[in-house]
Amino acid sequence: MQLSSKEARIYVAGHRGLLGQAIVRHLRHEGFGRLILRTRAELDLRNQAEVQRFMAAERPDYIVLAAARVGGILANDTYPADFINDNLLIQNHVLQAAAAEQVSRLIFLGSTCIYPREAPQPIPETSLLTGPLEVTNRWYAVAKIAGVTQCQALRKQHGCDFVSLMATNLYGPGDNFDLATSHVLPALLRKFHEARVRGRRTVSVWGTGTPKREFLYSEDMADACLFALRIPESALYAMAPDGLLNVGTGTDISINELCDLLVRVVGFKGTIVHDRSKPDGTPRKLVDVSRMKALGWQASTPLKRGIEQTYAWYKTTENAC
């Protein structure tokens, strides 16, 4: 089934997550009416027999594997076993079942933390497995490296069209704003918001504020996923013989610069206190986006606009004070 047909059956694994939600919105907006979606309660992707039964019954044409255990620097460091176990199980089961059902294309989602801590910046896809990983998230990174490698192996041995997209730090409406487990952007957006509303004079920012991160709006990432589903196979693997495509904006900013932006959007008037007992993580992980650019895709949402839209959404949620 060609993706040009709106009848294509597309399974979005992880459709309740930040990226999954955005992908479903994009697919529906484009008129795809035969989406296959399962909540965690309906289908536990860590259970191989359940996944095999589901996949054999549904037989999707395309899969976007956006289901994963994800979280910010502290969650990665606090729950290493959950991060490595759950991700290995989820991806192993879905990839194997997808190969057995011969889906037309599968998009495997990973993260730029798979690259070595000291990789050259911007980081090309060819840096994979060339050096030691950042320690705070190596559990998650090792799982994702296994997933990328499994996609390569399934392609080599069985001809599976499984492509891996490595996303930079995503943010957007529907993100996790839990301060203990979230990524930096939603965490600080919430902290500045609550401080302003409650009249607090200081906000705690973890680490030194000097690490740099590349932030990508979840709607742009969803757009990249749909784009990747459509790239003709010959063009895709000519550009990415290893089946890996970095997806980012091409620019990064320091955590301190991110704070300046958030403070302006939220209207916080107090001061920042750095909590140096918390880890900085990797100093920088800007990715080389030239493969995606050459294939014809670029991010389109400026960071300030993305933050404004995320903040507008956050204020409508029950969690916002």
The residues that are catalytic are: 140
CA distance 60 to 67: 16
Residues that bind ligand GFB (CB under 6 A): 72-74, 76, 111, 113, 136-137, 140, 169, 182-184, 187-188, 205-207, 211, 213, 255, 278-281
CB of 144 to ligand GFB, least distance (A): 8
Q: In degrees, to the nearest 5, what angle opens at C-alpha 143 toward C-alphas 251 and 106? A: 75
CB closer to ligand GFB out of 11 and 177? 177
Written as six digits, the tokens of 221 are 């990432």
Q: How far is the CB of 73 from ligand GFB (least distance, A)?
A: 4
Q: Which is nearer to ligand GFB, 35 or 146 (CB)?
A: 146
Q: What one-character DSSP code corresponds to residue 206?
A: E
The pair of three-digit structure tokens given for residue 222, joined into one six-digit string:
């969803």
Tokens 């259970």 belong to which residue?
A: 47
Q: How far is the CB of 6 from ligand GFB (least distance, A)?
A: 32
At position 307, the amino acid (one-letter code) is I
Smallest separation, CB 220 to ligand GFB (Å) = 15
The label of the residue with tokens 């990839």 reads 95
Q: What is the DSSP string of 32-62?
A: ---EE---TTT--TT-HHHHHHHHHHH--SE
Nearest distance, CB of residue 262 and ligand GFB, angstroms: 11
Judged by CB, which is closer to ligand GFB: 57, or 321? 321
Q: Which residues, 6 or more positions from 60, have their beta carbon under 8 angstroms from its beta carbon?
A: 9, 10, 11, 36, 98, 101, 103
Residue 12 vs 188, nearer CB to ligand GFB: 188
Query: Cβ distance 141 to 111 under 8 Å?
Result: yes
My answer on whether omega of the bond before 241 falls inside 30° of 0, hence cis, is no
Closer to ligand GFB by Cβ: residue 90 or 184? 184
Residue number, nearest CB to ligand GFB: 72
